[in-house]
Amino acid sequence: MSEKIVVSGGAGFIGSNLIEKLIEENKFEITVIDNFSTGYKENLELVKDKIELIKADACSYKEIKNVFSDAKYVFHLAAFSYVGESIKKPLEYNRNNIDSLINVLNASKENSVEKVIFPSTCVVYGESKKIPIPESEYLNPNTPYGLTKQAGEFYCKFFTEVHDLNTVCLRIFNAYGPRMQSRVLSIFANLMLEDKQPYLSGDGKQSRDFVFVEDIVNGLIKAMNSGKKAKGKSYNIGTGKGTSLNELIEKINLVLDKNIKPIHGEVAAGEIDEIIADVSLAEKELGFKAEVDLNSGLKKTIDWLKKKDLKQSQKSYI
CA proximity to 141, closest of 252, 281, 275: 275
Q: Is 145 a catalytic residue?
A: yes
DSSP reduced 3-state for 102: helix
Element containing residue 6 per DSSP (H, E): strand 3-8
Amino acid type, 127? E
* Angle 120-169-155 from CA coordinates, rounded to 5°: 85
| Conformational region of residue 204, where left means phi above 0, alpha means psi within -120 to 50, and beta covers everything else | left
Inter-helix orientation angle 245-256/294-307, to 10°: 60
Candidates 73, 145, 235, 317; catalytic one: 145
Residues 170 and 279 sit within 8 Å (Cβ to Cβ): no
In our burial notation (b when 16+ CB lie closer than 10 A, e otherwise), range 71-90 reads: bbbbbbbbbbbbbbbbbebe
CA proximity to 226, closest of 143, 164, 288: 288
Q: End-to-end distance of the chain based on CA atoms, in angstroms?
A: 39
Query: For the chain, percent helix, then strand, then coil, each to nearest 5?
Result: 40, 20, 40
Give catalytic residue positions. 145
